[in-house]
Amino acid sequence: MDPTTFETHPSRYHHWKLAVAGDVATLTMAVDGDHPHKPGYELKLNSYDLSVDIELADAIQRLRFEHPEVRACVVTADLDRVFCSGANIYMLGLSSHSFKVNFCKFTNETRLYLEDASANSGLKFLAACKGTTAGGGYELALACDDIVLVDDGNSAVSFPETPLLAVLPGTGGLTRLVDKRKVRRDRADVFCTVAEGIKGKRAKDWGLVDGLVARSKWDAEVAARAAKLAAASAGVAKGPAVQLDALAPVIGKDSFAYRHVTMTIDRAARTAAFVIAAPTAPPPADSATAGADLWSLRAFRELDDALLRLRFDYPEIAVVTLRTKGDRAQVLAHDAALAKDASGFAREVRLLQRRVLKRLDNTARSLYAVADAADSCFAGVLLETALAADRFYMLIDGAGEIAVATSVANAGANPTATGLTRLEARFYGEPAQVAKVLGRGADGPISSEDAEVLGLATVALDDIDFADELRIAIEERVSLSPDALTGMEASLRFVGPETVETKIFGRLSAWQNWIFTRANSTGERGALTLYGRPERPVFQLNRT
């Protein structure tokens, strides 16, 4: 099996066109039906698959780093009378359950990145829907700040998944409808069960779109709205621009070696081993002078790429061990330099680290952080990976060289989906412990024994018991039901208040995992299975 490639470049896009003019960019969806992610289906009517969303994610990332002058982005389409018809149904019908759920998760994360850019980077988005906008296409529009629909008597917005496919909008649509746009729930109920959708004045009155525009006034109105959005972001620091180069990992039979991250797969044991290396030199005085080579940026881009490869290409992997190696003092120095840098570039690096750590939180694998060598460096932003893990095992060495350290990266720079920091989530019942840990960290490295006492380490053992304890823990975890673990881990990781983001991923983990496997959708006579055929689906009628 060829590994999935999550890196691309605008020069290689098949499905999007990116144009920049001053402080406004235009992302035009022009899906090439002859270039699906996998053979076996055609991408008709601007329907999308993973390859389309990989390009979208790349475009958003490049706007933030390579085009900081952009303050508004128009998301539109090249196809007459169709903005986007949503995820390709035949692709979904041909895909494994694991792929379907990971596809939904990736598209969710990509749409959240639009909202993150709007909230934190002074980059606003306008969905210019000059035609039918259905399913995932409308979910993309919902992720934007402003939605305009052409008023032509025909174009509608719709969520046809429930009536046509016996599933749900998989990219946060239900949550954004009522929690973000605050559409009345009775109206949302009608909307989500009308396959043909809602158009015109009713769509505007119900809050499904922000504006209706006649075709004759379309270009002028879209330009005016984009200019208004750009002006609203004028006060946000931007740049300097930095080009994002290719990561180009060395790919082995079951290994991926990047500059700072390695991922090794053990198929027989159903485990993966991640190792993240610390920077080897002090940070530059000006972060942007290092460009894409800046450790704080490149290491987390590499971790992001490795996590996506793990999700899509190695569904059988049960447990991931997370290790770090290098000089913890260098990690702390890079964290401090990044925090002091007020440039737009430094802000984007911090936000990227935050997004990648959230991707780690949302990865449906058991995560065990392991500090068992003298050069282990779970410090600052790398300590966040241990705090994201389900368990943290630390070896007690006589010299106390194996230790952790805190930095500004642990004190609020990297909130989870709930809005809590990972320390606040860890000590949700003992909030005073957060200040105690950060205060103790200010005094220097925290040894394994002290880390266990403070509550940072799950298990700290000497070398007599450590290896066997860790081995048994991994073997036991591998033996458990993957389905039960996915639900358990997703429930335990998101400690604290519910947010739009936690609702989206919680519902994806529970509802969509369940509904996608039900006979009413994917059985032999299910709605998704029979889509496009003359036969009608046959439903099991018992409510649970």
Both 414 and 292 in one domain: the answer is yes
Both 202 and 70 in one domain: the answer is yes
Both 466 and 410 in one domain: the answer is yes
Reported residue count of the chain is: 544
Contacts of 497 (CB under 8 A, 6+ apart): 418, 419, 420
Both 223 and 332 in one domain: the answer is no
Instruction: Provide the 10 A C-beta neighbour count for residue 462.
Output: 12
* Domain contains 525: no
In the prediction, which pLDDT does 1 show?
A: 62
- Give the chain's domain count: 2
Ordered DSSP codes for 368-422: EEEE-STT---BGGGHHHHHHSSEEEEE--TT--SEEB--GGGTTSS--TTS--H
Both 294 and 344 in one domain: the answer is yes
Both 214 and 328 in one domain: the answer is no
* Domain contains 121: yes
* Domain contains 540: no
In the prediction, which pLDDT does 485 show?
A: 93
* Domain contains 217: yes
Both 185 and 284 in one domain: the answer is no
pLDDT tens for the chain, 544 residues long, are 678 999 999 999 999 999 999 999 999 999 999 999 999 999 999 999 999 999 999 999 999 999 999 999 999 999 889 999 999 999 999 999 899 999 999 999 999 999 999 999 999 999 999 999 999 999 999 999 999 999 999 999 999 999 999 998 887 899 999 999 999 999 999 999 999 999 999 999 999 999 999 999 999 999 999 999 999 998 899 999 999 999 999 999 999 999 999 999 999 999 999 999 999 999 999 999 999 999 999 999 999 999 999 999 999 999 999 999 999 999 999 999 999 999 999 999 999 999 999 999 999 999 999 999 999 999 999 999 999 999 999 999 988 899 999 999 999 999 999 999 999 999 999 999 999 999 988 889 999 999 999 999 999 999 999 999 999 999 999 999 999 999 899 899 999 999 999 998 888 777 777 888 889 999 999 999 999 899 999 999 998 7
The last residue of a domain, from among 485, 512, 531: 485
The last residue of a domain, from among 433, 451, 485: 485
In the prediction, which pLDDT does 53 show?
A: 97
The maximal CA–CA distance of the chain, rounded, in angstroms, is 78
Both 298 and 172 in one domain: the answer is no
Both 121 and 261 in one domain: the answer is no
Task: Report how far residue 204's alpha carbon sits from residue 148's, in angstroms, rounded to the nearest whole number.
Answer: 9
Q: Which secondary-structure segment (H or E) carries 256?
A: strand 255-257
Residue by residue, what is the 3-state secondary structure of 17-73? EEEEECCEEEEEECCCCCCCCCCCCCCCCCEECHHHHHHHHHHHHHHHHHCCCCCEE
Instruction: Provide the 10 A C-beta neighbour count for residue 184.
Output: 13
* Domain contains 532: no
- The three-state secondary structure class of 528 is helix
Both 174 and 50 in one domain: the answer is yes
Closest CA to 257 of 304, 308, 313, 306: 306
* Domain contains 282: yes
Closest CA to 244 of 304, 190, 320, 323: 304
Q: Which two tokens stand for residue 363?
A: 């990865």
Closest CA to 125 of 149, 150, 148, 146: 146
Both 164 and 303 in one domain: the answer is no
Task: Report how far residue 78's alpha carbon sits from residue 82's, in angstroms, rounded to the nearest whole number.
Answer: 8
CATH of the domain at 119: 3.90.226.10
* Domain contains 516: no
Is residue 166 a contact partner of residue 195, using CB atoms and an 8 Å limit? no
Structural domain containing residue 403? 250-485
Q: Which secondary-structure segment (H or E) carries 101?
A: helix 97-120
* Domain contains 418: yes
The last residue of a domain, from among 470, 485, 500: 485
Both 433 and 378 in one domain: the answer is yes
Look up the pTM and report it.
Answer: 0.96
